[in-house]
Amino acid sequence: MKPGMKIIIILSSIVLFWGSVFYFVGCSDKPQDRAVEVAKSALMASVDNPESVKIIGISRPDSVFGREYVSMEEKMALSMTMMKINEKVMKETNGMEDFDPDNKEVTKLMERQMSAMSALRTLATSNGMDALAKKPFNGWKVKIEFEAQTDGGKPYRSEYWFILDKEARCVIKSFEIPLI
């Protein structure tokens, strides 16, 4: 074998090897992309009327560290949203004086608000010394804002939050925030 031929074979082997490595790394399924797809399918499985769902926006997947799924800024924004919904319910029911349990729209809104408040309480963490410690990467967070209709045909807007595992293969936690 000619000496030049050995070099050509070695160089082409190296190029072929590294080319295949870059191909497989570049074409692999990224957890961020998978997180969005898993969140979309979980949304469709979570709502009462999936045929009516119109997705308005999807957040970019955000990293979650430890068990703190919601940042302080997000908690404040969610609290403000809950206050607005509470004001709307109080206005429509005259401070609960004229509450009509047969009014499905208000009843459903109250149910969704109470469910969201319950989820927020479970996500609240203490701000002790452990809060300052750096936490390990624990998964992904995806928020989907959507419009849909109840089984009765009444339209509503919500934001669904999905917390996924590290590989973005399954939903660990999810909760719905009603929007006005």
The pLDDT tens digits for 111-164 are 888 888 887 777 766 555 555 577 888 899 999 999 999 888 889 999 999 999
Domain boundaries, the chain: 31-179
120's tokens: 């927020």
Q: SS3 of 92, please? A: helix
Instruction: State residue 126's pLDDT score.
Output: 53
Instruction: State residue 124's pLDDT score.
Output: 67
Instruction: State residue 11's pLDDT score.
Output: 72
163's tokens: 């917390």
Report the length, in residues, of the chain. Answer: 180
36's tokens: 């969005």
Instruction: State residue 128's pLDDT score.
Output: 52
What is the CA 148 to chain-centroid distance, rounded?
Answer: 17
Residues in the chain with pLDDT values less than 70: 1-3, 17, 19-29, 124-132
